[in-house]
Structure 1
Amino acid sequence: MRTLFSGEVHVGYGQLYVCSDESHYLENSFAGQRTGLCGGAVPGHLFLLTGMHTGCVPITVELHETEPSVDADVWEDIVEVSFRPVSDEVVLAEWGGGLYPLPLSEISYRVRYYCQGMDEAHNAVRDVGEPVVDEYLLRFWPSPPAPDCVVKETSQAAAYWHEFAREQPPGPTPEEQAEAERQAREGKEHAELQQEMDAWGGRLPSDRLRDVRDKLRRFKGYPKGLVGLDAARVHAIDATGPDDQRALARWAAHRACAAAGLSEINWVARGLAELDRGEPFSPPLDDSRRLRDAALSDARVPRSHDGTPGLPQAAAFAALFDAAAPDPLKAALDALLAAAVTHDTDCFHLFAEVRRTFPATAIEVKAERIDRQ
């Protein structure tokens, strides 16, 4: 025998629990039972009732290898139920939230709940240190599932709760429970798909878009990225081939640099030419620190009111680097977003130009339904 817990715990409304999942309501815990005091109708959960309304009660929790003696001469009220944890994290839980770990395995147990002094403690309130009025013992031992039963009944409190339990309608059958869980699971999956669809402009993304989703660039003021500006174009770009995506990325870099007033600067123009040829960037575009120094020191780079390159210029440099990214889909989406940022409120004219220049991106991609199987 092992003592898993021994001490005083706080009860509220005469309630105490053994949990390996979230809590459940009183009626559900006693559904279909013939016994009160210990509700075991909900898998992975025991609902323990005490005579004490609010305050501290002593309780001991024991784990036995085989069925222990009944000890009916010591305790006034005794009931038995079956219990199987649904996780390896089982706790004795107070009504107010205190938790005490119970190291139980995920196997089937028989549980015997012993109660003493329930009538004397009826609706009482007790603080730590005051005389003990009622006390409890909970014993577990491995055993196949079996019907609940009343081992001994003495108190009026026990009689009341036994009657309460017998008035509860039976709980769902295993088949009904499985069906409810299946429906809940499908409902959750459907909601997740709907949420994903909403995030991608009303249609489900392809696996390729899912792959690059968390890698796409974001700009301040554009929390949803390119999807928030033109979701249809994102899906259309995804549906094109890598050659079209790479061409679009380079085109977007050119348009971004032109909009930001950078195209005529010799080292930027050289970088655009290198991008078009698929060559590595030469200095200062080959290093982020050198680029920063060049942008700050070159008077030809347009400045914002504080004397530093503004958002259009930062976005244009981002478009230049993004267009050279190894993944052509990511390159196209990131570079086009950066170009849209450089165009600010005129970005929708930019998107119209994309459709004219790259006809494949003007084709509407058929939305994929969320009830796909």
Structure 2
Amino acid sequence: MGTVVLLDGPVFVTYSTAIVFSGTEMYDSYDPDRSWDGQRNGLCGAGAPGALQLVIGTHTGEVPIVVARYSSEPPVEDRWDEVVEVSFEPASAEVTLLGLDGSEEHPLDLPRTRYRVRYCASGLDQADTTPEPADRYLLQFWPAPPAPDRIVRQTSSQAAYWHRVHRQIPMSPAEQATDDMVRSREQEREDRRRFGDRVPPERLRAVELWLGDIQAIDADLMWALAEADDETHRGVARWAALRALHVAGLDREPALTPALAALRSGSPMPKPFDQHTFWYAYKDAVPDTFVPRIPGTAFLPEGDDEIVKQQWYALPTISSTTHPDSLTAALETVVGAALVHGPDQYREFLRDLWQTFPQLHHVTAGS
């Protein structure tokens, strides 16, 4: 089997994209929107005539890419994590590989004929995590008649993501099984990052908040709220907001009277207090008081450092109570109220919360 190495070196890429283009004026004739037309793989787009769009793990920077031409089909090497195949025919005798911005072109000696192309990648999930490139690539060409693209090997979460995003042909049962397996591994890694060894209920897993603050304040409360019902969530949120406003000295502000009445009665929050940005109009109209930040928390409505301006944290708890997801409303409001209390008083606030809502069974962390 004859082999000719066409390129072996770093290629500068931007926006996680490299392009194989045949012609002289790429931006006049290449339509990137067609790259994935009729494809099942999402790493090497061959839908636009005379071009290939390559997904790269690194967003911006130099990555090692080897391009080789073969006289016949080469074997698939075990060292590659991701392998896909497409068909390609150059539109001219001039073929180049370049990053998306096209600042540096790498000519490829590819005579005009029909090719099968194998795109191999490794380290996609590790890209952009180390000073040196963790991802690497191989692009192989050999003469072959046109055939549908295919996914030969898929292992990383990044590859699974791009296959899902760019896919225009339904997955086969085998591809679906592989995708489900990768998704399961992705979810397990994310759960361990957010929750440690404890498996979260789906309701808690779906919360989009940064949960590090509630875990630093009272991890047991987070788990207990995750198992509570919507009515308890709303009750906790209203109670916590009222406590925050009282501690911050805002429960005597006439302008907040409609919001306070709604919190006390459990009635719908009137406008504009149901909008999360309402507090910007009030934050500079009330006196400021400060407490130190609770260690381990990072919730920053206004970019504070180690000092919490109590009013700037208390005011947003009003609209937090109205969040469409009741669990998010409870968690967000409790964190805000705890920060308003500060490191010297937040434990008393939490003790009162547990006593006020006995239905929140104290769940021991790790049980």
TM-score norm. by structure 2 comes to 0.47
Q: Which has the larger radius of gyration?
A: 1
TM-score norm. by structure 1 comes to 0.47
Higher relative helix content: 1
